[in-house]
Structure 1
Amino acid sequence: MPASISLSGLSWSTPDGTPLFTDLNLTFGPERTGIVGRNGTGKSTLLRLIAGDLRPVSGQVQIAGTIAMMRQDAMEHPNDTIADLFGKRPALDLLDRAEAGLAEADDLAEADWTLPARIEAALLRCGLSAGPQTPLATLSGGQRGRAALAVLILAEPDFLLLDEPTNNLDRDGRRAVIDLIRGWKGGAIIVSHDRELLEEVDAIVELTSIGATLYGGNYSAFRRRKDTELDAAARDLAHAEKTRSDAARRAQQATERKARKDSAGHCARSKGDQPKILMDAAKGRAEASGGAGARLRDARREAADEALSAAREKIEILQPLRMDIPPTGLAPGRTVLRLDGVTGGYDPDHPVIRDLSLTITGPERIVISGPNGSGKTTLLKIITGQIVPQRGRVDLTVPFALLDQHVRLLDPAGTLRDNFLCLNPSADGHTAHAALARFGFRAADALRHAGELSGGERLRAGLACALGGKPSPMLLILDEPTNHLDLDGIAALEAALAAYDGAMLAISHDEAFVRSLAPDRTIHLGI
């Protein structure tokens, strides 16, 4: 029987009872399927239901074959090693006892002498030279991601379950994931917003608030289909609006005609030219006809209203997000940032940044690149004053905003409105609501607490709070901004940054995002 995963009538709700999806029916065969959707639609939850980490409210998950899941956070306990991540510590301990002559005969019968070599090969395939006894705590986020990928390679399951597998990975790590998926012969279900990775899939399932839709083909095919749907929805909305307008106009015309006829009938009755019985009969016929006409007009209006409401709901689902960044007025010749012979880092004996000089003038766009551990984020902290350089000088001469992937500038306990006013003390409530609305947080959304937001929503809120005040920051510093954004959020961010007239300093391993920035220069670290 070929490997497959079937979801039948699957429903799940959040702890507060809010339905996340209802009566979901999907079947996955031995192909590579991407799962996409806006933040909060339940993509990771769906993987956890398939993996058995969660139990559905109703429905069932049927699995034919074996599965292995790569999670966003590969580190389970502070004292865990790579061997624990593989789930092979007891087997490796047995080999150690056998080599020391301490194993029993029964134990030796169970020993897998090929295991260390296979673990090492899986790690090397993912570009990781660490051994099984290496503590996970000593690995960077990107290295832990590579180790988690190696676990899947060793397991060789019928189905891979991958949850944002390229997050926190450098270019080489992302390439390892893409190569794995490109050559994978079994089934794979991949939650991701990485457009390069999604180009390797055979189908895409989009989760929305109204269910799941399957699209054949890779990301490019999905995007073309979505653009076509958006165009069709826009046409349907325009038609519905015209139909509603026409119905209202015809109703008004009918009301005016009836008023004229009623007025003429009243005049005729007052003259007494016809017998009263005939006048009363004519009045009854007119009232009956008018009532029937009014009911028909009401029915047409209701139908037009329902069609318009349905068209608006559809366009709301399909319409991309918008982020509007106000202008900064940065002059082309103004010096924004100057680094002169900067050396620094967390370890004074081994500074990761050495003798770096850099000048940004006017609205330049600069990308900082390099492998994990090359000091990219450390450099941003030196520039923004969070780390004092050991040597050299940093001159940051304009207002700036720093947005990291976790958006630490927001207080999780505060509302978005409160966060905005805290970061922009001279602003008032109206300014706060207007700025948040430009980034998609309208009306009551401004009173949501930052800690309740998804990763993508936090980034949008951070941009609104950092860029919505006055004066607008003339330098925008971004540290892996797309890591927790969904596809619509990435598209909205790219569009907003394309219109931004200030200077920009960005770290990103997302090549598609970097291309959209159209950087003037790239600074390579760790080379």
Structure 2
Amino acid sequence: MTLARVAARTPDGQTLFSDLTLALGRERVGLVGRNGSGKTTLLRLIAGLAEPVDGVVTHAGRVAWLAQRADPAPSETVAGTLGVADAQAVIARILAGDGGPGDLDAADWGLDDRVSAALAEVGLAGLDLARPTASLSGGEQTRLRLAALLLDPPDLLVLDEPTNHLDRKGRAQIAALLARWPGGAIVASHDRALLRSMDRIVELSSLGVAVHGGGYDFYAGRKAAERAAAERDLDAARREATAAAREGQKALERKARRDRAGRAFAMKKSEPKILLGAMAERAENSGAREGRLTERRIEAAEAGLASARTRVERGRPMDLQLPSTGLAAGRMVLTLEQASWSTPDGRNILRPVSLALTGPERLAVTGSNGAGKSTLLRVMAGDLEPTSGRVNRPVAAALLDQDAALLRSGETLLEACRRLNPGLDVNAAYAALARFLFRNAAANKPVEALSGGERLRAALACVTGGDHPPQLLILDEPTNHLDLDSITVIEAALRDYDGALVVVSHDPDFLRAIGMDRTLAL
């Protein structure tokens, strides 16, 4: 399929991208960009679910779309999600002897084999088709919806964040599926491991649309080099503009001195008028010539500065620094002694866990979906008390889940910060938010208007903004809703954090970047 000079805008008229030309064939293309850059909009255009405001999208085959999220109806079964419930009912009627002539014509006797193959392809082999879809984990539901696309293989797969909410095994299965996929695929993702397997990377940014051959590592290296070169060019253009302005000021000062000297010389009346007139004309011509040269240099410098600015991406990653906790190296932070948790009806969610954290240790908690990772974090933080065993929490701890649920819709950041830190007055709350780059009016932004990266940054500001920041941060999949630039910012901040960390993440790049000391596998 092809996109020719395509443009898209938000409902309020803001341009997301324009003049986008792209051809998609039998290849794997990764789509990256900041949250809000238009990735999902572009995927919807490619899938034929929306129309561009300008340009043409031409489909030369069948396209299948996998949205980032889809909430199943309470009565929806696995068969319903796969789209085979009606076909199954036809076969069931025939086998029961109740089928009519229409059923015999419509019967798809190869359906069971195709369903089994599709489920096996996404790691759900043997899944009961009568099971309610809502009973599956978020990651299992994503894989099930992908299996539905494979039942009638399309020419182009369009996938929006397919590995979000998946454990490492699920992520590996998606990557393996795409590696074997014989058709085309375009995938919006911040999963760096998945992006490494792409044939091309398409980036949406404030500079427009850029296409990079190769996978993520090549893209990241080239992006860093281009950003550094653009910054160097901008610095050089600023220096030239400053020098040209300084030279222009000096030229004005020289002309003023010459004019004063000329007027003083003329007042002496010791030279013939004709000579004075010729001298004045020469001075005027010389000054005009110098002025034109200076103006041209200033104009060229300003044009160069404007051009250099257009090559530097707006909204570049910012620096973020978590406040010091003062945690001593030998301080006991957390202990669990055979701590477990079960539901009131006796279902065992978390098996007994024993561990001890001392000083600024960093613990990664891993395990498949449903292994009890989030439950363990809530037990560590004190949101849940263990149903057996003991937990000792001698230092203040803060738990941030992937949705930063401690922030409430309907309140502003300033209100959230003061609710979570009752001792802060308004000015102190403004200052705490400003340290996390929510300055002035941004502090009054509604929580529900925040992007994924802003939401995590705001939550960190609120939990660390008090007089005594928590010495233990507990993070549950903190990168799930972040774009690549936001992940880089959070990685740098956590790398320099001097407190203890417990982190659940299926992103090995993230765990390596923040320097985990050990791993607890559930």
Q: Provide the TM-score with structure 2 as the length reference.
A: 0.94
For residues 344 and 163 of structure 2, the distance between their equivalents in structure 1, rounded to whole angstroms, comes to 28
| AA at the equivalent of 1:189 | I
Larger CA deviation: 391-400 vs 316-325: 316-325
The aligned residue for residue 90 of structure 2 is: 94
For residues 377 and 404 of structure 1, the distance between their equivalents in structure 2, rounded to whole angstroms, comes to 8
Aligned partner of 1:445 among 442, 445, 459: 442
| AA at the equivalent of 2:74 | P
SS in 2 for 1:69: strand
The aligned residue for residue 470 of structure 1 is: 467
Distance 1:433 1:280, change over 3 A: farther
For residues 436 and 202 of structure 2, the distance between their equivalents in structure 1, rounded to whole angstroms, comes to 27
For residues 482 and 119 of structure 2, the distance between their equivalents in structure 1, rounded to whole angstroms, comes to 29
Distance 1:29 1:438, change over 3 A: farther
For residues 441 and 410 of structure 1, the distance between their equivalents in structure 2, rounded to whole angstroms, comes to 15
The aligned residue for residue 15 of structure 1 is: 11
1:26 correspondence with 2:22: yes
The aligned residue for residue 394 of structure 2 is: 397
Larger CA deviation: 55-64 vs 308-317: 308-317
CA shift for structure 1 position 233: 0.9
Larger CA deviation: 427-436 vs 222-231: 427-436
Aligned partner of 1:185 among 177, 182, 186: 182
| AA at the equivalent of 2:374 | T
For residues 239 and 396 of structure 2, the distance between their equivalents in structure 1, rounded to whole angstroms, comes to 48
Larger CA deviation: 175-184 vs 50-59: 50-59
Equivalent runs, 1:414-429 vs 2, <5 Å: 414-428=411-425
The aligned residue for residue 261 of structure 1 is: 258
Aligned partner of 2:364 among 363, 367, 371: 367
The aligned residue for residue 214 of structure 1 is: 211
1:72 correspondence with 2:91: no
For residues 413 and 287 of structure 2, the distance between their equivalents in structure 1, rounded to whole angstroms, comes to 54
Deviations 1:228-276 (A, max 9, x none): 1012112202211221122122123222322322232232123222234
Q: Is 1:91–1:111's contact at 8 Å kept on the other side of the alignment?
A: yes
For residues 313 and 449 of structure 1, the distance between their equivalents in structure 2, rounded to whole angstroms, comes to 31
| AA at the equivalent of 1:237 | L
Q: Is 1:164–1:191's contact at 8 Å kept on the other side of the alignment?
A: yes
The aligned residue for residue 503 of structure 1 is: 500
| AA at the equivalent of 1:12 | A
The answer for unaligned runs of 5 or more in structure 1 is none
Q: Provide the TM-score with structure 1 as the length reference.
A: 0.93
The aligned residue for residue 105 of structure 2 is: 109
The aligned residue for residue 241 of structure 1 is: 238
| AA at the equivalent of 2:235 | A
Q: Is 1:348–1:390's contact at 8 Å kept on the other side of the alignment?
A: no
CA shift for structure 1 position 180: 0.5
CA shift for structure 1 position 289: 3.9
Deviations 1:179-200 (A, max 9, x none): 0111112100000000000111
The aligned residue for residue 126 of structure 1 is: 122
Equivalent runs, 1:161-180 vs 2, <5 Å: 161-180=158-177
SS in 2 for 1:64: coil
For residues 454 and 205 of structure 1, the distance between their equivalents in structure 2, rounded to whole angstroms, comes to 21
Deviations 1:286-312 (A, max 9, x none): 345434533442343243234224434
Q: Is 2:349–2:372's contact at 8 Å kept on the other side of the alignment?
A: yes
| AA at the equivalent of 1:107 | D
CA shift for structure 1 position 429: 5.0
The aligned residue for residue 451 of structure 2 is: 454
CA shift for structure 1 position 433: 4.7
The aligned residue for residue 55 of structure 1 is: 51
Larger CA deviation: 355-364 vs 340-349: 340-349
For residues 192 and 390 of structure 1, the distance between their equivalents in structure 2, rounded to whole angstroms, comes to 39
The aligned residue for residue 36 of structure 2 is: 40
Distance 1:307 1:325, change over 3 A: farther
Larger CA deviation: 461-470 vs 447-456: 461-470
CA shift for structure 1 position 215: 0.6
Q: Is 1:119–1:132's contact at 8 Å kept on the other side of the alignment?
A: no
The answer for unaligned runs of 5 or more in structure 2 is none
For residues 520 and 5 of structure 2, the distance between their equivalents in structure 1, rounded to whole angstroms, comes to 51
| AA at the equivalent of 2:267 | S
The aligned residue for residue 272 of structure 1 is: 269
Distance 1:155 1:460, change over 3 A: farther
For residues 308 and 435 of structure 1, the distance between their equivalents in structure 2, rounded to whole angstroms, comes to 35
- The alignment yields a C-alpha RMSD, in angstroms, of 2.1
Q: Is 2:139–2:170's contact at 8 Å kept on the other side of the alignment?
A: yes
| AA at the equivalent of 1:8 | A
Equivalent runs, 1:212-361 vs 2, <5 Å: 212-317=209-314, 319-361=316-358
Larger CA deviation: 379-388 vs 304-313: 304-313
CA shift for structure 1 position 153: 2.7
Q: Is 1:205–1:212's contact at 8 Å kept on the other side of the alignment?
A: yes
For residues 308 and 428 of structure 2, the distance between their equivalents in structure 1, rounded to whole angstroms, comes to 32
Aligned residues: 521
The aligned residue for residue 198 of structure 1 is: 195
